[in-house]
Amino acid sequence: MTSETLETPSAQSGVEPDAAQQVLRRVFGYESFRGQQHDIVSQVIGGGDALVLMPTGGGKSLCYQIPALVRPGVGIVVSPLIALMQDQVDALNAVGVRAAFLNSTQFPDERRTVEAQLLAGELDLLYLAPERLRLESTMQLLDRAKIALFAIDEAHCVSQWGHDFRPEYLGLSVLHERWPTVPRIALTATATEKTAAEIAERLDLGAARHFVSSFDRPNIQYRIEPKNRGEQQLLGFISTEHAGDAGIVYCLSRNSVEKTAEFLSRNGVEAVPYHAGLDARTRATNQSRFLREDGLVVVATIAFGMGIDKPDVRFVAHLDLPKSVEGYYQETGRAGRDGAASTAWMVYGLNDVVQQRKMIDSSEGDAAHRRQLQLHLDAMLALCETVQCRRTQLLAYFGQQGQPCGNCDTCLNPPESWDGTVAAQKALSTVLRLKRERGQSFGAGHIVDILIGKSNPKVVQHKHTELKVFGVGAELRDVEWRGVIRQLLAQGLLAVHGDYGVLTLTEASEEVLFKGRTVALRREPERTTAAKAPRAKASRPVAADLAPADAGLFERLRAWRATTAKEQGVPAYVVFHDATLREIASRKPSTLSELGGISGIGENKLTKYGAGVLDTLAGEQGESAAEGSRARTGSSDGDSPRAADPVSPLPVRDEPRADAARQSGVTGQRPTSNPRAAASRDAGSPSRGAPASRGAAPARRQSSPARTPAAEPHPWNDEPPPDWDFEPPPDNMY
């Protein structure tokens, strides 16, 4: 992968070189950029193209949001996730950014309102599904607007060999053809060097500068265990390590999703299912609950999760083997976006290998397609069977080096490697003799029964007790033999064939049987509780680093945030992340100036939430302390503390954008909306299509506005609008 490109200086775009830093602090409330963010932002502000590979939680969104606020015009964000656009827009509105979306969940009058805002220059960011860009009417609309940049999110969807391939992404090269002077930034959290090269080729980003961040997520502990009654193992894992935590459980089939969600709910873990077979209303409800409620577990197929911004997902569990390392990495990356300790846990067994091999053999597509699927699976199996650090193996897959992490199962409880050559020869001989002597083929279970000398009815019926190999493997238990066969399949020394999953030999089998090839196998360590895991704390790990008194205050701040978020109809993290609340609880600011110095609190959030935070803090010390707090800020009895502590707006560019103190401080205001979420809005909110006007920041309000009572929900029994850009699942199976 090349990282060379044409550098375009920021001066060419006519913006001040420190404008990005000002927006970062004033709008988003952060003092400094992380990692490569500053270089990426500077590249795009200067008019250059960028291809960004950055892990989930690394801050990809800021890499296009800040340039869109600095450059003249509106940033167009291409996203496949129409089900999440409302939440993305809500999060931007909360910090004062004028964002909207156009997709099939809106009615014509809503779309016309957004289009009018776009043409009037009243938007900072506009989200579109890739399908909508196939319409000439959309292209003509964009022709009439001033475009700051194009951001192509989840860019790996353009890869035809990828796990999230979306054919509509193949047409996005038209953006450069039609608007050659508008900078483009393509972003993804999951791409090998080969996938990144494919992205650059298909999106016509050959001259783009490549930015590749480390794929390491040090706060995630990777663990893979042998499967033995997977549901019970999952329940034990959640109950002992993550009771009360939000998490995602991935299953391969819809039926497994339903059964697992019901099993967890029956055993005291609040869980909801999510898969493509559920009706749209149920999927939307369950997704909304997961984003807005604390401690909910969602059990899902791979149709769920891409674009989920919930920061406090404490675990991601897999009850079935993922199809590829890319899929595994992307799915596990949804844990711990806030940087707090989290777990990626998986159980894996022989049936997983058999099932995946069968799916590949029966898949549509030509031989080359099946070979590619096989390579993906082989890499995933190698990760499962490694005796080395899982993190270093995961990083190596993406072309990066790493050192043993000390925070994965193979580091904390190292497995042994043993010479399994004789065991492999016994298993392979059994398959060979059945074929040569009887013309028969059987699955793994029957092979194991022959090896351990088990005279069950099926063995007796076929007279397999007469085989020379009957009972030759009595030194191992049946579960150990299943592990041997699983690893032989993973190493390509056995293959699965046909609808019944019978075992057959491969070309490599001959090397073991007749040419002296040795076979090293993994011996699973005796599993203990997670005592060695450094984060084995079941309740509120996010408060673990706080003093006891501060932890109590942190929980009260969380309660205030939950109430505020519910009133506004947004997820709690849109108000403040846990990391921000932790810092508030620790530092205990008493004025707006002090509160404004905390990471994650920009001008708009300070205006909107400052009084509520200070009141919560003051409430700790009783009414007298609250009065003292107001006296320190210089406010009168009827005033909010914010009036005496103004924050001067910082200049960003000649056309002011997204002023943090704009009129949208009124709760519930959104530029556009999904009608299915209308019941959660405040009745007194402005029209859903009318964001506040940009311009100089108005004077601070002199008192906290009273909450407008929520409107009565409007019944909605009609079918949704036309779904020509409806977001399909990555695979119809799921």
How many other C-beta atoms are found inside a 10 Å radius of the C-beta of residue 325? 23
Q: What is the pTM of this model?
A: 0.72
CA distances from 500 to 167, 351, 357 (A): 33, 12, 11
% of the chain residues with pLDDT over 70? 78
Q: How far is CA 155 from CA 3, 78, 184, 342, in A?
A: 17, 9, 12, 26
C-alpha span between 113 and 110 (Å, rounded): 5
Please give the full DSSP string across 572-586, using - where no structure is assigned: HHHH--HHHHHHHHH
591: part of which helix (H) or strand (E)? none
**CA-to-CA distance for 118 and 48, rounded, in angstroms?**
23
pLDDT tens digits, 103-115: 888 889 999 999 9
Q: What is the mean pLDDT of residues 618-636?
A: 50
Averaged confidence pLDDT in the chain: 80
- Rounded CA gap, 291 and 313, in Å? 10
Residue 360 neighbours by CB under 8 Å, 6+ apart: 370, 373, 374, 377
Which phi and psi (to 5°) does residue 468 adopt?
Answer: -60, -25
Highest mean pLDDT of the ranges 1-10, 28-37, 494-503, 647-656: 28-37
**d(Cα 427, Cα 241) in Å, to the nearest integer?**
38
> 125 and 96 in contact (C-beta within 8 Å)?
no
- pLDDT 10s digits, 132-143: 888 999 999 999
606 pLDDT above the threshold of 90? yes
pLDDT value of residue 525: 64
CA distances from 66 to 9, 63, 365 (A): 17, 6, 42
Joined together, the tokens standing for residue 699 give 């004077």
Record the tokens describing residue 398, joined without a space. Answer: 């993406």
Q: How many CA atoms lie within 13 A of 5 on its CB side?
A: 23
Q: Please say if the pLDDT value at position 373 is more than 80.
A: yes
Q: Tell the burial category of 97 from Cβ atoms under 10 Å away from its Cβ (0-12, 13-18, 19+).
A: buried
Report whether pLDDT(616) > 50: yes
Residue 621: its pLDDT value, please? 54
pLDDT of residue 282: 93
Which string of b and e fits 658-691 if b means at least 16 CB within 10 Å? bbbbbebbbbbbbbbbbbbbeebbbebbbebbbb
Of 555 and 619, the one with more pLDDT: 555
Q: Give the other-Cβ count within 10 Å of 407's Cβ.
A: 21
Residue among 448, 435, 515 at smallest CA distance from 486: 448
Identify the pLDDT of residue 162.
Answer: 53
Where is average pLDDT lowest: 198-207, 478-487, 671-680? Answer: 671-680
pLDDT of the residue at 452: 92
Helix-strand-coil split of the chain, %, nearest 5: 45, 10, 45
Q: What is the CA radius of gyration of the chain?
A: 28
Asked if 57 and 330 touch (Cβ cutoff 8 Å), the reply is: no
DSSP character at residue 82? G
- Token readout for 263 is 């099993």
CA-to-CA distance for 316 and 612, rounded, in angstroms? Answer: 33
Render pLDDT for 567-603 as a digit per residue (tens, 0 to 9): 988 888 889 988 899 999 999 999 999 999 999 999 9
